[in-house]
Chain A
Amino acid sequence: MIELLATAESFEQAKHLIDCGVDTIYIGEEAYGLRLPYSFSREEQRAVIAYAHAHGRKVTVAVNAILHNEQIKTVPSYLTFLKENGVDRISVGDTGLIQLMKQPDYYIPFIYDAETIVTNHRQVDFWAKFGAVGAVAAREVPFEELQMMAKASLPIEVLVYGATCIHQSKRKLMRNYFNFIEKSEDVSRQRDLFLSEPKGDDTHYSIYEDCNGTHIFANNELNLLPYLGQLAAVNLTTWKLDGLYCSGESFVSIAKLFVEAREAIKAGLWSEALGAQLDRALRRFHPAKRGLDTGFFLLKPDQVK
């Protein structure tokens, strides 16, 4: 069973994504969820859940922030809200939240998503014992290892399109810098600033700040569209599309390509040629100034030390 998840940036977009065949909508609010295209109000979250359920689809809500004491105190009321509104799953990155959810009143089936630190199927099996129903593989895991991770007792979610976070600091790294050079600058995601490496002028790592700190993203967005057949063949069939840096109709169009791929695979009609054709189409919708690559997917495990 292939599951296609997609982030949404508005109720409207969520509707379009559902209408075009996405299985699960991924939304949340900035106070508890990391690196979301949009921070949904409670009312909007309720509306998305209702619409998805009316169409037989699911909603996962991001509660994957690193939680400090204050948030650990306020998060139970959010869990209650989500439970009351029938959210299907949440994503979790903080162990304290898992501790809270040992109380049946708060428990919501959850996807373990601690970004960089999910790299081995045994870790996933560990979280399964505490109520996880899935886990998100770190982007730094090559395909050869992902295949082995598929042995886990839970479905492993793989990012197949979108941005990869490679650094989260609690510090206001941009504001600190601008203060130092005495420049006033917007540091939000909308400002759309990039870093380049000292030895790579053509590199472009997106960077922004929000209430969870400073976030830096990989040089290019990940795109595994041509490799979906390979993923499906080894039972890695939970695929996430992240629209943090691709908005509006373009993102919906990209989602449609993945839906087409899913249907072809289900029907046994997948081919490399189809993959290449869909991939060409994807490149037309992907923002022109942003790159695409395959991240760590094709690396050999021993290429990273």
Chain B
Amino acid sequence: MEKLKTAIFYGADAVYIGGEAYGLRTRAGNFDYTDMQEGVDYAHAYGAKVYVATNMMTHEGDEAGAGDFFRTIRDIGVDAVIISDPALMTICASDAPGLEMHLSTQQSAVNYETLNFWKDFGLTRCVLGREVSMEEMNEIRAKTDVEIEAFIHGAMCISYSGRCTLSNHMANRDANRGGCSQSCRWHYGLFEMDEPGEHQSITEAGTEPFSMSAVDLSMIHHIPDLVNSGIDSLKIEGRMKSIHYVSTVSNVYRKAIDSYCADPENYILKQEWVDELWKVAQRELSTGFFYNEPTENEQLFGQRRKIPQYAFVGQVLEYDQDSQIAVIQQRNNFGVGDELEFYGPGMRHHQEQLHSLWDEQGKPIVRAPHALQIVRMKVTQPVKPNDMIRKRK
């Protein structure tokens, strides 16, 4: 909920939520329609949309209750479901007419005829497979008239989405029902076998082990290409991410896209936007399949750079202009003497050193060590509620 609000507050036009809804099986008891209602109301008040990811591949029986589920979320006002299982689509279409369906990337839609199929079936938007290049995307745009959404930032599967069951086989956890154990990121032995079945490793001891871990996607350097492609929605992957991450990434892309659209001729990518993304990056960044087929440089091998270099330390709850006192909710240990960076929507930024800190009762303190602790601090430049604070690690 907090993440949903943050994403919207920091410039997202839509948020997709999932969590427990991802696996319909775990819905009972876990899924909270009241929360969802609150999220939808909040989003709609800001003119933003809420999509619910229901992109599991059902096994027999998983679909029980799906009709009620779709009807309920439709009535709550959810704008669309992101869906990949034709069994669920059938139920959604018949039991919750009016609820829009978006094709999930799990269906690995990578050609224009696939999009035409889903459009004919009644879907209003398709999320492309991550294997689609910019050139292919432009052609898909030209040959279809359904909305297109593409991932532009975040972590990604190294397989064709939906076509990996490493986790099922290695960890008894179903990747297509939300249980993926990220087995692709493990380190594997690589060997040949002789007739009696003896393993002969084909790499020498001490060599970097085989793994299949993709670096993250980032298209910040290519906003003009994305906007000009004519696709309808740019998607930031944000599962299991902090509000620090969500606010920063949304903020940067919002700013870059708005800057470009306002004045395409004179648009230049600002280094500070890129730097900003690196402050929350969790891995190296690349352009995925957009411009070329990913090589070893787009996989995580060898010594890994230490990222992120920043820690999220708190969020501004209130600020009083006259006294210059801000009320802060702590998120990570910080204290007097630290160099803090404040930022808010629209890429408002400033840095200052912390000189005075008080606890909730007004007692001066030197550090704020407790999770979610409420503290007061002096901030000389104005900040606003929902601004975030980070510091270099």
Contact = CB atoms under 8 A, between A and B. Distances in A.
Interface residues of B, number: 82
A301 B120 CA distance: 34
Nearest to A142: B59
A40 B302 CA distance: 40
B111 interface: yes
A149 B59 CA distance: 9
A122 B87 contact: yes
A194 B165 contact: no
B196 interface: yes
B307 to A, nearest CB: 19
Contacts of B203: 181, 183
A96 B301 CA distance: 35
A43 interface: no
A87 B135 CA distance: 34
A257 B172 CA distance: 31
A233 interface: no
Given A95-B109, A99-B113, A193 B164 contact: no
B130 to A, nearest CB: 9
Contact of A66 (B91, B110, B207): B110
Interface in A277-305: 288-289, 296, 301, 303-305
B59 A119 contact: yes
B117 interface: yes
Interface size class of A (residues with CB under 8 A): 35 or more
Contacts of A66: 108, 110, 129, 131, 160, 163
B301 to A, nearest CB: 5
A249 to B, nearest CB: 17
Interface stretch (A9-17, A53-61, A169-177, A266-274): A169-177
A69 B197 contact: no
Given A177-B210, A192-B192, A99 B160 contact: no
Given A126-B87, A303-B172, A149 B60 contact: yes
A20 to B, nearest CB: 26
A145 interface: yes
Interface stretch (B181-189, B261-269, B341-349): B181-189
Interface stretch (A21-29, A44-52, A195-203): A195-203
Contacts of B293: 170-172
Contact of B196 (A141, A164, A185, A288): A288
A71 interface: yes
B296 interface: yes
B166 A166 contact: yes
Contact of B176 (A119, A121, A205): A119
B225 interface: no
A95 B129 CA distance: 13
A180 B86 contact: no
B295 interface: yes
A67 B111 contact: yes
Contacts of A168: 159-160, 163-164
Interface in A108-124: 114-117, 119-123
Tell me whether chain A's interface is mostly helix, strand or loop, or mixed: mixed
A200 to B, nearest CB: 8
Interface string B110-153: 11111111101000000001011000100110000000000000
B194 A117 contact: no
A218 B169 contact: yes
B168 interface: yes
Given A95-B114, A127-B86, A176-B295, A170 B193 contact: no
Contacts of A230: none
A29 to B, nearest CB: 19
Nearest to B86: A126
Given A68-B131, A173-B158, A197 B170 contact: yes
Interface string B198-220: 01001100011011101000000
Given A176-B299, A192-B193, A166 B168 contact: yes
B172 A304 contact: yes
A207 B187 CA distance: 15
B192 A196 contact: no
Nearest to B178: A305
B343 to A, nearest CB: 35
B61 interface: yes
A216 interface: yes
A30 interface: no
Contacts of A167: 159, 163-166, 184
Interface in B210-251: 210-212, 214
Interface in A173-232: 173, 176-177, 179-181, 183, 185, 191-198, 201, 204-205, 207, 213, 216, 218-219
Can you list the 10 inter-chain pairs with the closest CB atoms, starting with the nearest? A96-B113, A122-B87, A126-B86, A196-B189, A96-B114, A99-B117, A176-B296, A148-B60, A289-B197, A180-B296
Given A116-B163, A149-B60, A305-B173, 20 more contacts: A66-B108, A68-B136, A99-B113, A117-B106, A117-B162, A119-B59, A119-B60, A166-B166, A169-B164, A170-B131, A171-B299, A177-B299, A177-B301, A185-B202, A193-B191, A196-B199, A201-B189, A207-B190, A289-B193, A296-B168
